[in-house]
Amino acid sequence: MKHKHAELIKAWADGAQIQWLDSDCDWCNIACTPSWSTETTYRIKPEPKPDVVVYSRIVGKFLIGCENIEINQLILRPQADNPNIKYTFGGEWGNLKSAEVL
């Protein structure tokens, strides 16, 4: 009879990082040898998704007065030929991690 976690046990033996699902529905890394309980849910730790980098060009018309600078038009052109800004978004959640003026 095949063990419930046979495929995961083989992956762990080949060096895969194993996680278990705790009672709060959070995946936790296992630092030592897993118990391989049939009552516990295990998985191979997924590879993190890579960050997404987008190059864009911001074009604007600026009205410069004595007291302030007013932007009356701002256009964002993703993947422009001549980019002037670089955005980096986190691969896991899509959150903006950085914006760099080029």
Q: How confident is the model at residue 15 (pLDDT cuts 50, 70, 90)?
A: very high
Q: Which of 23, 30, 25 is nearest to 9 (CA)?
A: 30
Distance separating alpha carbons of residues 26 and 48, to the nearest angstrom: 16
In this model, does residue 25 exceed pLDDT 90?
Answer: no
- Asked if residue 73 and residue 94 are part of one domain, the reply reads yes
Please state whether the predicted TM-score (pTM) of the whole model is above 0.75.
no
Distance separating alpha carbons of residues 87 and 96, to the nearest angstrom: 7
- Asked if residue 67 and residue 40 are part of one domain, the reply reads no
What is the domain extent for residue 94?
52-101
- Asked if residue 97 and residue 57 are part of one domain, the reply reads yes
- The residue that leads in pLDDT, 54 or 7, is 7
Residue 102 burial (C-beta neighbours within 10 Å; 0-12, 13-18, 19+): exposed
The total of structural domains in the chain comes to 2
